[in-house]
Structure 1
Amino acid sequence: MTLAPCARPVAPDEIDGQTVICGNVSVPIDHRAPESDRITIAFNLYKAHSLTPEPDPVIYLHGGPGSGTVSHVAKTIGYFEHLRGRRDIIAIDERGVDSSAPEMDCYTTLGAQLAPVVDQKITGNAAPTLQADFINGCLAELDAKGIDYTLINTEQNAMDVPAVLSALGYESYNLYGISYGTKLTMEILRQDPPGIRSAIIDGNAPPWLPLYSMFWQSHSAPIQLSLAPCEGDPVCAEAYPDITARTFALMETLGETPVDGPKGPVDGGMLYEMIDGRVNMKGDYHALTPYIPLMVTQLEQGDTTLFDQITAGELPPKPATADAETLRAAALARGLNGTEMAQVNAMLEAAEHIRIAQGTVERAARLLEGDLDQEARGTDLAEIFDNRLAAAIKAIPDDAARLAVGRDYLDLRFADPSVDGLLTLIEAHLEGSAATDLSALARQLDAAELARVYELIRVDNEATVKQVEGSFQTYLYACQEDFSDGWNSVQKFRDLMAEDGAWGPGMQEALAGYYDQRFIAVCALFDKHPREDWTSVGSTDRPVLAMNGELDTQTAGIWGALAVQDYSDATLVMLPESGHGTIRFSQCAKDITAAFIEAPESDLDTSCVKDLRLPVMLPDGTMHPLPY
């Protein structure tokens, strides 16, 4: 294990090296051959707030796989702060992802395709073969580097986790997987290494389901789950009979014949996007469920009133806010006497002082973090050099020349920091005062400033690579292990969707076409590497909590029951009005997961879930409560 500075800036209330510790753990690229080449797994270790923490930390296993967590110090712990009171929290970038094994970034391929990449960034038009060209080039580049990317798989990934925890000195631990991280957690449970105390799987993706042939269910299940309470309530069912089937049918009808409204036509795709978009991958949430039955009824009748109100942001209504004067007026209206009003004024003034103090503390902390960031980098001159270099490159009028310097700039990503490397870049591509000034600045850089310049180059290049790679890291896993032997295919997608019958033919074709383009065509570029028992149902006797959101459009909420079907000690929780990664959507989800981690063998109180169920708007405009 080696320690390293955390990715900056860290959160204002964290201290690099004390409250959050970052570094890398070296593991075999093939755990079944311990003497094989090594790769590094990057980690962030967030120390518990307690002076006497419990010995078993929580390790977060991220989704994708892709878009790792280590470089997002503040964002990552923001999701898990509720578990940090008594336990350390560990986040890793899984093998082959972002900070873990950065040598897998395909900068040579990117440099060779810089022209279409730049064109896409400027015009928004991607070359038809850009994705396939990049994948083919990247796979060839990895081959040329001698990287056995067939070992970038969930089986090896699962063996990395206990190796990292052992290197950090933990004998017992709790797993917390979200999305692909649930698949990884299930593989770890299948391998059953020593030390697992408990596991939480949130947004379940069990490998024993052909998930890439079932992703249509991630879009039908939120409709079915959120409308089922209306179907089961006498008052709602009378007002909106067969509302679930009617909602699916309406999308098909509007796909063929849109409804004209005062703000324009409403078609099936628009209705689908509105209902499907109640939650998104960013954790945004729109409380539209109460209005869906009435909106569907109106659209069936050619009325777009509710649809237009939602589109305009008028529904759901914004929560009311009250300033101090409004609260004083309300208190006076209640007839409070002079003494009581003095107490009200004192409370309002105290609240204002607290608000100002909190803002002051936060601003001061951010300023301090900024100062520490600059001090750690020691590099005002480095920032100046980087900014001037970027400006000089942008000022080159010739497209071909600009692309040429861009390629050489990318090549510096893996070069050792050196003044000569910068001078070579400048002399090869720049001239005049820009070249003279930048050369002079480069010669003034000390060792720390030079290292910072190359760090900035790395950051710039990583951002560009991420734009082009897209889902390459996901494909490395999915295409090699999930598309073997026809386990997932577009034909299976179509057959399962038709057999289910919820979606009409128009939506079936639209979703199947997207799936075909998004996965089938891409995965055809990869060799397949099936593994024994990968698709067989897993079992475990460890305590497992499966958290599932009714509105989850990435992993259908109903997959949770299928994930734990052979788990002997599993608790299944379905949360209304929650999407992918339930802890992003409610305090209830956080409370349940915290209680489970605290006592995984005890009975779990999930009573707060029923409070998440929203009412339904009846035809007369009143709100009617629904059962959980």
Structure 2
Amino acid sequence: MTPEQYLAVFLALLGGEMNEPTFPELLNGGPDPRFPVTRAPCTRPVAPSEIDGQTVVCGTISVPEDHDSPDGDRLNLAFIVYRAHSLAPVADPVVYLHGGPGGGTVQSVASVSLFFDHLRGRRDVIAFDQRGVDASGPDMDCFETLAENVEDVADSLAGAEMPELEGRLVSECILELEGRGFDLPLFNTTQNARDVGSVMSALGYGDYNIYGVSYGTKLALETMRTAPDRVRSVVLDSVAPPQVALYDTLYVPHSQSITNTFAPCEANAICAEAYPEISQRFWDLAEQLQDTPLEVDGTTVDGRTLFSIFTAARNNWADPTTRGFTTYAPALVTQLEQGDVTMLRQMLQEAIPPQPSAEDALAGAIGLASDEQALAQAFVNALDQIELASGTAAQMLAQLEEDIDAAAAPVTFGEYFDDELERALAALPERSDQVAFSRDYLSLRFVTPSAGALIDLVRTHFDDLTAARLSSMIALLGADDVARVFDLIAVDNATLEAVAEGEFELLLYACQEDFIDGFNSAEGFVKTTESVGMGPLLASALTDPVPSMFTICDLFEERPRDNWLEPVTSDLPVLVFSGEIDTQTASSWGPLVAETLPNSQAIVFPEAGHGALLFSQCARDIGEAFLEAPGSTIDTSCASDLRLPYLMPDGSLLDVR
């Protein structure tokens, strides 16, 4: 951020809303009565990257649980609008469809701001949590299930091994949600796709663009198939095709990322001569290490460890320590074949790949005159100060925002009572007493708030003196205070609830719509893993035990839909991104989807993992150029510049572009 941007946030925090609120029409329910909008403060922190009510707007949108029955039950979808930086933005915004299923974005304002800021030069960017997910699913928390299993959940959180707990929690959560009236089969990608257009209509937009990542690409494809009205263009980044059995093929992306690591070397005559058949040698080495591991400074390196070194961290855009790994990959395999762990040790110590820094550049500079050396050193010092000052400014703005919020909404008597209730719980002498209290307390999450329920709670679980003290406080609670105490049941126990729910959001979608008539199965997973090129020892290590979801999905009913597992065909302009080292969605799946999208352009980026736009300016610029002119041919030549050289046995670097 620039000093001017920091100043704008600072002035907004000190002076309140300096300008008219963004989207004032949303203050009165929004422009589309079919999908009413309720404005709400954005989840903190918003500063320093944004200003609530000016650069970002948050709230909820009411949509039908079943779009074929618009007068039936409703769901609230949480949204954020990131306002375009331009004072004269274009009319067609970008809606971001997040991955998962599950794992929303609305509760992390800064992350979407960081990921898509390059698109906000001329366009609004909209994000929303999909139905049943995070901020769009607070009423779907399974607190009765948590209450019944609170002791086991707490023990699991403390590290106890309870392999049967996950299945029990999922089974009971299904029954709890059905008992509260949720129609679980309606939590699917087709209903989700119809939510997309509803959200955009609710916010007053006409034509719009879609940017989907991971599961968001599957949702984008279903939107193209079943609800394409007003969609102007689509970007699919890290593609999850509906026709691919994604859970059978969990290790296909890993295998392809390893193949892609070595393929440019094998395609180059000089590199291939220096490292003949290097891909197969990798798999042979992994099998050898799985049979006979190495010990490196107290770390056991078996085939799974080598497999992880080549796949796991490189897929994480936020981890800079693996940038440049491909350069060393053939040499690493060659050394390990010879029992030499020098390079592996350096990698484990994060000395390789080397990370560029101003200090290293200065230390390596040769031939600088004394004044040039002084200027260079002054620059390095100033750079350090800028980084320190920027970090300090960001922290201070975030803290200022928190303090101003606290001053504007001081602690209520209900929150004070909640703190006293927590202290009384901690004072209970026996763990069994604490568990019994927690069970009854958590069971109040979806009970109609009342002072009587709180009085019954404290009289049941505390001694006469403590119960009398707490009851006298309850008598002083107003209706808003009582409601706040009940709200805090969810806030105070979010960690326990996260353990109890686990991956329920993912399972709710995947198990109902992707595990159909043998499409995705434990047998298919093992068979596919054994066929991707690895040896039997490594394949066995990766598939035994089979991931728990293959058995847990049996707890859900299959909900097949016509054409759901078929390829999507559409004439819409589509840009398809894949990453060569993506270990979540295979690099081949983007071109596969493009085969049935005649107005598409597919690009596979070197050195990009999951979410290609996060790994290079090249990907971001190509995406932005496409949105400016969908359907036109985009210059993608910058992608070839991402290709890394290989370290040769003589220490030289070979350019294979």
Same fold (TM over 0.5): yes
The 3 A distance-change label for structure 1 pair 393 and 362 is same
- Pair 1:43-2:79 in alignment: yes
- Pair 1:316-2:353 in alignment: yes
- The 3-state SS of whatever aligns with 1:603 is coil
- Per mean C-alpha deviation after superposition, the further-off stretch among 189-198 and 613-622 is 613-622
Instruction: Give, as a single letter, the amino acid of the residue that structure 1 aligns with 2:313.
Output: R
The 3 A distance-change label for structure 1 pair 239 and 395 is farther
The 3 A distance-change label for structure 1 pair 276 and 348 is closer
Instruction: Give, as a single letter, the amino acid of the residue that structure 2 aligns with 1:491.
Output: E
Offset at residue 416 of structure 1 (A)? 5.4
- Name stretches of at least 5 consecutive residues in structure 2 with no aligned partner: 1-36
2:223 pairs with one of 188, 192, 212: 188
Offset at residue 472 of structure 1 (A)? 1.0
- Per mean C-alpha deviation after superposition, the further-off stretch among 372-381 and 175-184 is 372-381
- Pair 1:626-2:656 in alignment: yes
- Give the whole-Å Cα distance in 2 for the aligned partners of 1:160 and 1:186: 14
Deviations along 1:361-392, whole A, 9 cap, x unmatched? 43442233112321343327666554554344
Contact 1:413–1:461 (8 Å) recurs in 2:
no
In percent, how many aligned pairs have the same letter? 45
Give the corresponding residue for 2:55.
19
The 3 A distance-change label for structure 1 pair 184 and 558 is same
Offset at residue 264 of structure 1 (A)? 5.5
Give the corresponding residue for 2:501.
469
- Pair 1:222-2:253 in alignment: no
Give the corresponding residue for 1:591.
621
Give the corresponding residue for 2:288.
253
1:335 pairs with one of 364, 369, 372: 369
- Pair 1:61-2:105 in alignment: no
- Name stretches of at least 5 consecutive residues in structure 1 with no aligned partner: none
Instruction: Give, as a single letter, the amino acid of the residue that structure 2 aligns with 1:473.
Output: E
Q: Size of the alignment, in residue pairs?
A: 619
- The 3-state SS of whatever aligns with 2:145 is helix
- Give the whole-Å Cα distance in 1 for the aligned partners of 2:309 and 2:70: 51
Offset at residue 591 of structure 1 (A)? 1.9
Give the corresponding residue for 2:514.
482
- The 3-state SS of whatever aligns with 2:127 is strand
Deviations along 1:471-511, whole A, 9 cap, x unmatched? 1111111111111111222333334444x451211232233
- Per mean C-alpha deviation after superposition, the further-off stretch among 443-452 and 244-253 is 443-452
Give the corresponding residue for 1:274.
309
Matches within 5 A, 1:228-307: 228-260=263-295, 263=298, 265-280=300-315, 283-285=318-320, 286-287=322-323, 288-307=325-344
- The 3-state SS of whatever aligns with 1:413 is coil
Offset at residue 104 of structure 1 (A)? 1.7
- Give the whole-Å Cα distance in 2 for the aligned partners of 1:506 and 1:302: 20
- Give the whole-Å Cα distance in 1 for the aligned partners of 2:92 and 2:261: 37
Instruction: Give, as a single letter, the amino acid of the residue that structure 1 aligns with 2:626.
Output: F
The 3 A distance-change label for structure 1 pair 160 and 322 is same
Give the corresponding residue for 1:411.
443
Give the corresponding residue for 1:510.
541
- Per mean C-alpha deviation after superposition, the further-off stretch among 585-594 and 571-580 is 585-594
The 3 A distance-change label for structure 1 pair 407 and 281 is farther
- Per mean C-alpha deviation after superposition, the further-off stretch among 480-489 and 2-11 is 2-11
- Give the whole-Å Cα distance in 2 for the aligned partners of 1:260 and 1:551: 27
- Give the whole-Å Cα distance in 2 for the aligned partners of 1:2 and 1:275: 47
- The 3-state SS of whatever aligns with 2:63 is strand
Contact 1:541–1:569 (8 Å) recurs in 2:
yes
Instruction: Give, as a single letter, the amino acid of the residue that structure 2 aligns with 1:309.
Output: Q
Contact 1:378–1:449 (8 Å) recurs in 2:
no
Contact 1:550–1:574 (8 Å) recurs in 2:
yes
- The 3-state SS of whatever aligns with 1:485 is coil
Contact 1:30–1:36 (8 Å) recurs in 2:
yes
- Per mean C-alpha deviation after superposition, the further-off stretch among 290-299 and 219-228 is 290-299
2:645 pairs with one of 591, 594, 615: 615
Contact 1:62–1:179 (8 Å) recurs in 2:
yes
Offset at residue 43 of structure 1 (A)? 0.9
Contact 1:490–1:512 (8 Å) recurs in 2:
no
- The 3-state SS of whatever aligns with 2:352 is coil
The 3 A distance-change label for structure 1 pair 336 and 283 is closer
RMSD of aligned Cα (Å): 2.9
2:166 pairs with one of 111, 127, 131: 131
Offset at residue 555 of structure 1 (A)? 0.9
Give the corresponding residue for 1:163.
198
Instruction: Give, as a single letter, the amino acid of the residue that structure 1 aligns with 2:293.
Output: P
The 3 A distance-change label for structure 1 pair 291 and 395 is farther
Deviations along 1:238-279, whole A, 9 cap, x unmatched? 111111111112111211122355656531121112112233
- Give the whole-Å Cα distance in 2 for the aligned partners of 1:319 and 1:350: 17
- Give the whole-Å Cα distance in 2 for the aligned partners of 1:331 and 1:295: 29
- Per mean C-alpha deviation after superposition, the further-off stretch among 522-531 and 580-589 is 580-589
Give the corresponding residue for 2:409.
377
Contact 1:57–1:173 (8 Å) recurs in 2:
yes
The 3 A distance-change label for structure 1 pair 410 and 12 is farther
2:399 pairs with one of 354, 364, 367: 367
- The 3-state SS of whatever aligns with 2:547 is helix
The 3 A distance-change label for structure 1 pair 364 and 565 is same
TM-score normalised to structure 1 length: 0.91
- The 3-state SS of whatever aligns with 1:111 is helix
- Per mean C-alpha deviation after superposition, the further-off stretch among 243-252 and 284-293 is 284-293
Instruction: Give, as a single letter, the amino acid of the residue that structure 2 aligns with 1:536.
Output: E
Deviations along 1:541-562, whole A, 9 cap, x unmatched? 1111111111111111111111
Offset at residue 174 of structure 1 (A)? 0.8
Instruction: Give, as a single letter, the amino acid of the residue that structure 1 aligns with 2:209.
Output: N
Instruction: Give, as a single letter, the amino acid of the residue that structure 1 aligns with 2:406.
Output: Q
- Pair 1:110-2:146 in alignment: yes
- Give the whole-Å Cα distance in 2 for the aligned partners of 1:549 and 1:92: 25
Contact 1:106–1:138 (8 Å) recurs in 2:
yes
Offset at residue 181 of structure 1 (A)? 0.7
Contact 1:396–1:402 (8 Å) recurs in 2:
yes
Offset at residue 42 of structure 1 (A)? 1.4
